[in-house]
Structure 1
């Protein structure tokens, strides 16, 4: 995500990648300082994604935001990328493009290399996109395009691995010494100066990052994990020097250089493992970003095909997609047939056939065939771009339980320092020596870490929402995820949700003796030639399938909500519901088979009087898996409720077919809202699933609204969860992943709290050495993130859905 203007607010939204945050105390402090800064409307900081999302007022510069980040003790990450330039033929032109780019919010420097026809841009990561830079370059009269060469690499990971390798090498002799003490009866110890020689670079060179982090935190008015690590290891390190200074060579075996060295090494290793695990949790966004093609093949009016950057594709362009290429934009197929893999967009595991008139989604892969596509949505308006925004939004939010954890982390470090002080004084008061008191206090400082508390919720949300996205379930925000796990009732729209929304001809009941079924159908289909009603298509398709000839219709008339009438072969025919015939004073006596309130009636007005001809039942085909979806909802402990604007007969049929006990028919949009209000009495949480414009009010009113991906844009914009393919089984799957995610959050928070509740007393009472305390601290964060990563293996398997996931 990059800069964007928030309509109607006079603010601009930016994202920054923040370096230096190690625990929830860090992210809480930064969020507090950003929110309090002048010119910043809102700020949200996510520890797991290492992102800050800031809304700034007009007139406030991004540089001032970066300064606040610096005052809080952190860095806004920078990245450098090289671009090809054309149009900068002289120094003046080069100066113009340099000034244009350096004047773009988020750009730090721009350096033009005229000999290589490229420009190197240093910018704040996430703050400004390639598209914005290319637009600024065009305004300066130049063309900017991404270089074929890789961007200038960030060597951060390499330096981290180098530091860890050096730390392991320097601390390895201490590990050997500790093992020797356990195995050899005579013991073995390095000379004190050798220990100091190994521990000093670990403490002050490799461990310098901890000192910087602690100092920055204290300058920012807070305390974090680094404060605890620095206090503990510094105490152990200098106490070892004190022991050697007072005892000389007799201090061997009473030094704690090994404690400070091993603590720093274990914390470094733990942080690296945690970082790798967090990147795994964010895999969903990277997979979506990888789907975006950089170029598109655009067909000109003369039939020639040219390759263009994707940003230059416009709605209405004719695009060519060959075998092995990704569909560049949302559109409609205008020519060709191909097998398309939409798995990473919709979650559909099997390739789907796409031909003329079919929709295709940007990012899907053409497996076999050639397609010509008319672009309907490009760039930020495409389905893929909206998916990326929704996933980022869901992963950036904070549920109430995380805000509670943040408040705990805000006071965590001072409380731990106080406990360490009490432990130190307590051991002295109990008659123990200074050595015992210091080491136990160090153990308290080292074992306590707020990182696990800070990562418990965001890593679970990142992984859960990412797994949902891969299955074709888009969660708009964290509130939707938070509410979905507690749903008790689910209102399902019929048409387009449990049914395909495509009417088809069912049974035909003849009411005249001199008429056969095909003749009746031919008359009905002929009448419907001029109708745009959805049911008309069912008759036309049925007649076409039976190869029945249609006749010309004269004096055709359509009556809204009633039916149609027209003259076929000299006879006036009427087709519609019973109200049509009542309105036109149809004089024929009621037929013996009046049926129920469903069906479409066909009658004729002949010279010898009015006569009933036939009654047609039009079905809406049940979607595959509709019954399984309802059964899965019941197993989740959710009561399904069917609501439809269709007739009682049609609604009852689908309810019976899918196993829904309660239903309401002939409901209007306001009736669906009233139904949800009724069901929400006594504090019940009610979900709503729909796909049409008329479902939007109910989707907005429900605790959680879900829109079928085949539905209207209005429904999908209103809903909190979008199901990317028209499969009703995804409704239960969405609730299942939300419950599993919330279960992981509770597990993570429980273990994070229990770890500290048990670990702190053990350390204070002298039952844990500093090295073991450091190991436990490192493993606490890794275990929390690892537990969350289990969700990556989730797949929407309905047979595995049970109520015990709540």
Structure 2
């Protein structure tokens, strides 16, 4: 796969020509995006980059390899926009007096037409030079583009004015030309159309400049992503010496001081702090981290000093992966865009033919040559397919950029079309609807003992355990007591299938399975039944061989899951819960989230089979998962959605990645999709409708060429402006915990995730 930056494209006809030339090469499949200027080319190894570039150049355009993301800057883009702004300003200074004098008869004076003629010359030659050059280039390659129409319109208007001034009587000193919305003649004196000759390039250049600004704006999210990472990093033990991030290697430890960005993905080895992830994931709440926690490059250290061991650098980081996903999405092309490009590819030659037929018809019908030329020029000018070429890519560009800001990364535009049709959402449980981490959810203590004190002793004896239940209890003990360092444990031993034992502060402490414990007091027995019903894992705490507490740990539901499921139902999407866990755990989560369709104990192959059966029923299925066991279902669904923290296999199989672990992002993706496709349809209706109305008006002599140019430019600006509204679309709903009353105690976030099915020890 090779990407090329193609220069010189101005309309969908240009896109169609470049694609056609590239696709003629054996084994090559190319898609070209007008809004980004990027050509994405799949080609066999024997077809080299030089051949691809030369093919584009033979089509009449420029091509080059895009710079690496780390070196990419917006300087060239800024220089191009500055040049366009300068050309536009000079054109405006020359053209506006011509427009005013031509349209306001009261201001016309002797020889006014010759002053206008002098001012129009530079506009026709210098200001319109890009149109003429591209039109000639297209002519050499036997093709017509929007620039062909503009160039022909300007030249025809100017040459007619030259004829009128020198041979048609319009050069008389006292000639006055009344303003009219329609092309007219006055007493046998031919009218000059210098206002059309200068108005067409002025309005087209204005439209092009506004389009360039709009495209620059739609790419702001991608540029922001490439600039998020830190530029330099301080290695541990280097004496405050800083090196470029590009020199950092996996396994090296680096310092992150308060206020600095984390240089790359890694694991905290020393220190504790709060991280601001809003730049990376959009999450506004700071996340507390400490030793053992995974961190992502680009996050801002809001608190204390951290030492981080790098686990991924360069292109392997999450930030680089996000940037690639956004870039790929903006370079892609959806089915609806291909249809518009196909139409635009034959539209320009058809309009040139129509203009020639209009000229011949008017002359053959005995009309004045002035009227015939004016009608033909108006057809050429008004029919430029800018709006048609920009209708779809600008909307997708804005949507994918705004989606990245919402934490929704879209792999390719076709995913938006498929998501629009989804009516069934199959959710994996662990790590998707739930946090995927074991957390203390309930504590039952016999009367007379302090909950925090018991939890402190249990956490101390579990400190030497690597079991997910043990880690959950240690985290809960630290949170409940506020102590970072728990008491020392002596004589620690772990018995497989039973639990852990040790001596803490002179007392024998055991945390064991209820099966291995003796008879339980009534309060603890009731708590055990409640935990089993909820699908939680319970352990018994014994002090000096006496059962004193029951601790229930489980994979808790994400706070945003309940609101997200409810919202999806309102949008007409039925939620389905599927998990490899047992029925009790599945029913508990389904009950909490009001999901009626539940499939428990399902293998990875079974998940794919479930998706296949739903699709066989005629449903359009989206699968939301995060693990290796979800990859087959993600790939077989109409649309796959995965969590950004998921496995590489899941992310590779999915069409959409949720950067932040928030189910509200699923709703945001659906709402953004529907708004995007509504915007695209509105753009296409306008682009087609505009030509349906204006071309017949121009052909029948009811449209002045100057106003034709204004209408053509306005149509492009309106399409781009309508697409830009997607950048401010608020797709992120407010969320709340699905059932906070069910959780008695919550631990601090643990970066290490539990397994799908944890057995009792």
Answer yes or no: same fold by TM over 0.5. yes
Query: CA shift at 1:46, angstroms?
Result: 1.1
What is the 5 A alignment of 1:631-710?
631-710=566-645
Name 1:557's counterpart in structure 2.
Answer: 496
Give the aligned partner of residue 42 of structure 1: 29
1:762 counterpart residue number? 697
- 1:175 paired with 2:83, answer no
Query: In angstroms, what is the RMSD of aligned CA positions?
Result: 3.8
Calculate the TM-score normalised by the size of structure 2. Answer: 0.82
Matches within 5 A, 1:20-169: 20-37=8-25, 41-55=28-42, 57-58=44-45, 61-76=48-63, 124=64, 126-127=66-67, 155-169=79-93
Match of 1:281 among 218, 237, 245: 218
The answer as to 2:128 corresponding to 1:207 is: yes
Instruction: Choose which of 205, 208, 214 in structure 2 pairs with 1:271.
Output: 208
Shift in Å, 1:627: 1.1
Q: Deviations over 1:379-438 (max 9, x none)?
A: 111111111111010001111111111110111012212222332233334442111111
Deviation per CA, 1:292-322, whole angstroms, max 9, x where unpaired? Answer: 333222224xx52322222211001111223
Number of the residue aligned with 2:145:
224
CA distance in 2, matches of 1:376, 1:633: 37
Give the structure 1 partner of residue 420 of structure 2: 485
- Shift in CA distance, 310/553, structure 1 to aligned 2, threshold 3 Å: closer
Deviates more, 1:612-621 or 1:701-710: 612-621
The structure richer in strand per residue is 1
Change (3 A) 1:414 1:758: same
Q: Distance in 2 between matches of 1:338 and 1:530?
A: 24
Alignment deviations for residues 611-643 of structure 1 (CA, whole Å, 9 cap, x no partner)? x99987543222112211111111211111112
Q: For residue 121 of structure 1, what is the aligned residue in structure 2?
A: none
Mark the CA change 1:130 to 1:723 in structure 2 (over 3 Å): closer, same or farther.
closer
Matched, 1:18 2:10: no
Deviation at 1:125, TM superposition (A): 6.0
| Counterparts of 1:179 and 1:230, CA distance in 2 | 23
Give the Cα separation in 1 of the matches to 2:321 and 2:492.
47
* Secondary structure, aligned partner of 1:683: coil
Per-residue displacement from partner, 1:550-604 (whole Å, max 9, x unpaired)?
896779334xxxxx479999x9x996698x99xxxxxxxxx99977674657899
Shift in alpha-carbon separation, 1:325–1:125, aligned structure 2, 3 A? farther
Equivalent residue for 1:439?
374
Cα deviation 1:245-286 (Å, max 9, x = unaligned): 323446743111221111111111111111111111111111
Instruction: State how far apart, in whole Å, the 2-side matches of 1:205 and 1:516 are.
Output: 87
**2:176 paired with 1:242:** no
User: In 2, Cα distance between the equivalents of 1:159 and 1:723?
Assistant: 39
CA distance in 2, matches of 1:549, 1:343: 38
Listed one character per residue, the Cα deviations across residues 63-88 of structure 1 (whole Å, up to 9, x for unaligned) are: 44332222211123xxxxxxxxxxxx
Match of 1:475 in 2: 410
Aligned residue among 251, 259, 262 for 2:199: 262
SS of equivalent residue, structure 2 residue 284 = coil
Unaligned runs of 5+ in 2: 178-190, 518-524, 542-546, 736-761
Q: CA 1:732/1:577 → structure 2, altered by over 3 Å: closer, same or farther?
A: farther
CA distance in 2, matches of 1:540, 1:370: 23
Q: Which moved more, 1:594-603 or 1:430-439?
A: 594-603
Listed as ranges, the matches of 1:501-650 within 5 Å are 501-506=436-441, 533-538=467-472, 556-558=495-497, 564=498, 598=535, 617-650=552-585
Are 2:539 and 2:552, in contact at CA under 8 Å, matched by a contact in 1?
no
- The whole-number CA distance in structure 1 between the counterparts of 2:226 and 2:493 is 57
TM-score (norm 1): 0.78
* 1:532 to partner: Cα distance: 5.3
Of the structure 1 ranges 519-528 and 633-642, higher mean CA displacement relative to structure 2 is found in: 519-528
Cα deviation for residue 450 of structure 1 reads 1.4
Question: Whole-Å Cα distance in 2 between the matches of residues 509 and 360 of structure 1?
Answer: 34
- Of structures 1 and 2, the one scoring higher in RCO (CA 8 A, sep 6+) is 2
Q: Deviations over 1:680-708 (max 9, x none)?
A: 22331111112222222222222222112
Flag the 1:126–1:516 CA change in 2: closer, same or farther, 3 A. Answer: closer
Deviation at 1:449, TM superposition (A): 1.5
Partner secondary structure for residue 36 of structure 2: coil
Aligned mate of 1:718, from 615, 628, 653: 653
Report the Cα distance in structure 2 between the residues aligned to 1:641 and 1:524, rounded to whole angstroms: 38
1:435-485: CA deviations, max 9, x gaps? 111111111110101111111111111110111101111112222222112
Give the 3 Å change call, closer, same or farther, for CA 782–557 of structure 1 in structure 2.
same
Q: Distance in 1 between matches of 2:84 and 2:92?
A: 12
704, 715, 720: which is aligned to 1:780? 715
Residues 516 and 235 of structure 1: is their aligned pair in 2 closer, same or farther, counting only changes over 3 Å? closer
Q: Would you say the 8 A contact 2:536–2:585 is kept in 1?
A: no
CA deviation digits over 1:108-140, x for unaligned, max 9?
Answer: xxxxxxxxxxxxxxxx562457779xxxxxxxx
- Matches of 1:460 and 1:690, distance apart in 2: 28
Deviation at 1:666, TM superposition (A): 2.1
Q: Give the Cα–Cα distance (whole angstroms) in 2 for the partners of residues 493 and 792 of structure 1.
A: 31
* Residue 179 of structure 1: how far off its partner (Å): 3.3
Q: Say if 1:206 and 1:779 are closer, same or farther in 2 by CA, change over 3 A.
A: same
Q: 1:755: how far off?
A: 0.8
With over 3 angstroms needed to count, the CA separation of the structure-2 counterparts of 1:190 and 1:647, relative to structure 1, is: farther
Deviations 1:338-385 (A, max 9, x none): 443322210113443333332222122334443221111111111111
2:717 and 2:299 mapped to 1: Cα distance?
35
The residue that corresponds to 1:138 in the other structure is none
Q: Deviations over 1:780-806 (max 9, x none)?
A: 111111111001112333269xxxxxx
Q: Judging changes above 3 Å, is the alpha-carbon distance between structure 1 residues 125 and 279 closer, same or farther for their aligned structure 2 residues?
A: farther
Residue 373 of structure 1 pairs with residue 308 of structure 2: yes
Q: 1:464 to 1:557 in 2, by over 3 A?
A: same
* Equivalent in the alignment of 1:4: none
